[in-house]
Amino acid sequence: MPKIEIDEQRCKGCGLCTIACPKGCIVLSEQINNYGYTPAILGEAKHKCTGCALCAEMCPDLAILVFK
């Protein structure tokens, strides 16, 4: 099963990955990180991840790793 890891401290909460994911796996947290941003986290649909890596390709801060 594919797995993604999001570096919440590296994330600036731009939301591009939430738009890029065709399965709706990623949402923005309601918590803030050390830099004052609401980082991307895996949401309730995380089990739908296909490992397509669109989220990682979209992230301008290289905050997402995808493992297949």
Q: Which residue ranges make up the site for ligand SF4 (CB under 6 A)?
A: 4, 6, 11-17, 20-21, 23, 25-26, 39-40, 49-55, 58-59, 61, 63-64, 66
Helix (H/G/I), strand (E/B), else coil: 40: strand
Contact 64, 6 (CB under 8 A): yes
Measured from the CB atom, the residue of 25 and 32 that comes closer to ligand SF4 is 25
Neighbouring residues of 36: CB distance < 8 A, sequence distance ≥ 6:
none
Q: How far is the CB of 60 from ligand SF4 (least distance, A)?
A: 6
Determine the length of the chain. 68
Measured from the CB atom, the residue of 32 and 58 that comes closer to ligand SF4 is 58
